[in-house]
Amino acid sequence: MTVVAASRAANGALVAAIGLAHARLGGVVAALTDAQVAQPSRLPGWSRGHVLAHLTELAAAVTRQIEAARAGELVEVYEGGRPARDAAIEAGAGASAEGHQRSLRRATAGIGVLLTSLVPADWDLPVRYRDGVVRTIVRAWWREVEIHTVDLDLGADSDAWSELFCDQTVEFLAPRAPAGTTLVLEASDGWARELGDGARRVLRGERTDLVAWLAGREPVHPVRADDGGALPALDPWP
């Protein structure tokens, strides 16, 4: 397979995976009630409404980044910056269940159409987000949808994450390895990754549990350190 063909295949696999993530999110919120919207999510200080409003606002930001890139422009991720983003989440969090469902359907459908319209050259266009390219922010959107679907605490959990998702998420979160430490993640299915540089600490568990822990989420099953000690404190998200 040529480099170009491999890139097209990888982009296609990413778009297909995001479609599945959208469907999973939609299924999770399909029976959402107004009472559930106001209840706490798994994110400290955020209700489910906050998580849903965040996803809607992020979808608009992702769309803005990609559309600007295709027009040859660089724009801030959120119009008005972080303060405007935070205010929009607070304002939107209290919407009704029906309002959140409608906003998410619009947002995910819009991104789905946008992603399928990308031509190969579009994927490498520069964006302001992390000074990356379109592919960078598309992967970020996938990461946010998958992780926040779990954060909603409505029955979906990290044990449904695919190997492709785990690989890309570990790659992104590798900087969380504490300074002076090499984290060796070893799963029972043979999946393994090494992060950081320094004294080796081997952590074992299911692949999805290791990635959930690295993402700061509660694993479905325990993650254990070979030396019997406590799991290391991770550095902040990159």
Q: What is the model's pLDDT at position 7?
A: 86
What is residue 1's predicted lDDT score, i.e. its pLDDT?
64
In tens, the pLDDT along 67-126 reads 999 999 999 999 899 999 999 999 999 999 999 999 999 999 999 999 999 999 999 999
146-193, pLDDT tens digit by residue?
Answer: 999 999 999 999 999 999 999 999 999 999 999 999 999 999 999 999
**Residue 110 sits in a domain of what CATH number?**
1.20.120.450
Helix (H, G, I), strand (E, B) or coil at 200: strand
Do residues 62 and 167 share a domain?
no
Domain's final residue, options 123, 156, 189: 156
Domain boundary among 114, 132, 156: 156
Q: What's the rounded Cα separation, in Å, for the pair 102 and 99?
A: 5
Regarding whether 14 and 69 lie in a shared domain, the answer is: yes
Q: What is the pLDDT of residue 209?
A: 98
Domain count, the chain: 2
Domain membership of residue 231 (yes or no) is no
Q: Find where tokens 């299915």 sit.
A: 189
Domain of residue 63, residue span: 3-156
Q: Which residues contact 142 (CB under 8 A, 6 or more apart)?
A: 14, 17, 18, 21, 165, 168
Percent of the chain whose pLDDT exceeds 90? 95
In a domain, 230, yes or no: no
Q: Which residues contact 124 (CB under 8 A, 6 or more apart)?
A: 133, 134, 135
**Are residues 59 and 171 part of one domain?**
no
If asked whether residues 141 and 221 sit together in one domain, one would say: no
Domain boundary among 124, 156, 188: 156
